[in-house]
Chain A
């Protein structure tokens, strides 16, 4: 129901930017580099159009509108998760050793955060409603943490993003963090007022309106960052690296670690009286 409180101009601006982004992705051939991200942008545009039509046909308060909104949100969240997974995989898959390590780290983080969301929601009295809000909040944080983990791994191994995926990741982070903060406030408001829903309905509606504004602002900023990333023709993609023979790592890595250990040991000895 977010669109209820959002001024028409913001919705139009969002749709306009989404159309521009779709055109830019097509013209710059961004869909070849990041197909799942392009699909996510297309889904977001389709959602805004479909929900707009449903609201106009059935009214904002109808049950059809309610279901249309939540189904569209679910599809959009799924599409965004795939886009984030694609960003994580971008150019890292060619480095097979590092990619396998990254997969383990990311899977652990995902399981950890989603389990936390389930446990957190299970203890609540209105746990199904609370679960949806908790999962939404934790998905935002999980997405940001996953992107952070990938960036840390890339930074550590010196495999940094090109400008295009870097700016896409930046926009995605803004969106995820704004959603995480907004959903936390929403969740608290809803859980706090659920006991006496009818009496405090206007207050909850105000919170919804405020949240819709914050969410739209976050999404608009992200769309702006993504359009900016596609302002110029994308440079040619670098070829995949030529990997070393498997035995090289087995021979050299233990030696290097041994040497690093020995230097540390000597430094430690220097500190002894």
Chain B
């Protein structure tokens, strides 16, 4: 009886998972196609480009200035709004991370040979990021993360974006050369 229940439970779980997977819409296939069309800009981090404006909004001197000049309720409201900006910005960074991740997968999909360890590492990194992101989001929402820490994170994503852009340019050059060879052949 216990075995039957166990198998029924497995069957129900598998059915639910399969149903969800079979109903999901095509997403990455479109992006893979876009990569094929060399429109890789969609994969590169975007939100960190607006960091200058966000940094201004989150600047510590601004906060000090506010505390010295205006009434406490207004300061609280301003700080709350700044936290909201930070949370939205964190969501943007999440998108940037996801885009980088998708770029990695798209390259793996279009590669004739892949490294199992690299793929496994990316999978683990993605899971880890999601856990960390949820934790940071929670702490930011409760006001426990100093805003300058977000600044550090954003600076990092920005630098990485530049590196990625250079790498993508290298791919373009390589792919163009290969296509020329195919056409000539």
A residues apposed to B, CB below 8 Å? 95-98, 100-101, 104, 137, 141, 144-145, 147-148, 151-152, 155-161, 166, 169-170, 173, 177, 180-181, 184-185, 188, 241-257, 259-264, 266-271
Other-chain contact of B109, A97, A180, A271 (Cβ < 8 Å) = A97
Residues 1-42 of chain B, each 1 if its beta carbon lies under 8 Å from chain A, else 0: 101100110110011011001101111111110001000000
Q: Is the CB of B136 within 8 A of A97?
A: no
Q: Which of chain B's residues has its CB closest to A255's CB?
A: B167
A-B contact pairs, 17 of them (CB 8 A): A95-B110, A98-B109, A101-B114, A141-B14, A158-B102, A241-B110, A244-B107, A244-B174, A246-B112, A247-B174, A248-B110, A249-B114, A260-B97, A263-B93, A263-B153, A267-B133, A271-B145
Known: A97-B113, A243-B112. A253 touches B32 (CB 8 A): no
Contacts of B106 in A (CB 8 A): 158
Q: Among the listed stretches B60-68, B70-78, B118-126, which one makes contact with chain A, having 4 or more residues with CB under 8 Å of it?
A: B118-126
Quick check: B24 and A159 within 8 Å, CB to CB? Answer: no
* Minimum CB–CB distance for B150 against chain A, Å: 8
Beyond A177-B15, A244-B112: 9 further Cβ-contacts under 8 Å? Answer: A101-B119, A145-B14, A157-B28, A158-B106, A159-B29, A181-B8, A241-B32, A245-B175, A259-B163
Cross-chain contact A259 with B107 (CB below 8 angstroms): no
Chain A residue at smallest Cβ distance from B1 = A188
Query: Which residues of B approach A to under 8 Å, CB–CB?
Result: 1, 3-4, 7-8, 10-11, 14-15, 17-18, 21-22, 24-32, 36, 93, 97, 100-116, 118-119, 121-123, 125-126, 128-129, 132-133, 135-136, 139, 145, 149-150, 152-153, 156-157, 160, 163-164, 167, 170-171, 174-175, 178
Please give the distance in Å from A33's CB to the nearest CB on chain B. 18
* A-B residue pairs, 9 tightest by C-beta: A158-B28, A97-B114, A249-B111, A151-B21, A256-B104, A267-B132, A184-B7, A270-B149, A259-B160
Task: Out of B104, B116, B157, name the residue touching A257 (CB < 8 Å).
Answer: B104
A269 vs B113: C-alpha distance when bound (angstroms):
35
Shortest distance from the beta carbon of B1 to any chain A beta carbon, whole Å:
7
Tell me the minimal C-beta distance from A259 to chain B in angstroms: 4
How far is the CB of B173 from the nearest CB of chain A, in Å?
11
**A173-B26 Cα distance, complex, nearest whole Å:** 20
Contact check, B28 vs A141: say whether CB atoms are below 8 A apart. Answer: no
Measured between beta carbons, the chain A residues less than 8 angstroms from B178 are: 245
- Within the complex, which residue of A100, A148, A156, A184 is in contact with B114, where a contact is CB–CB below 8 Å? A100
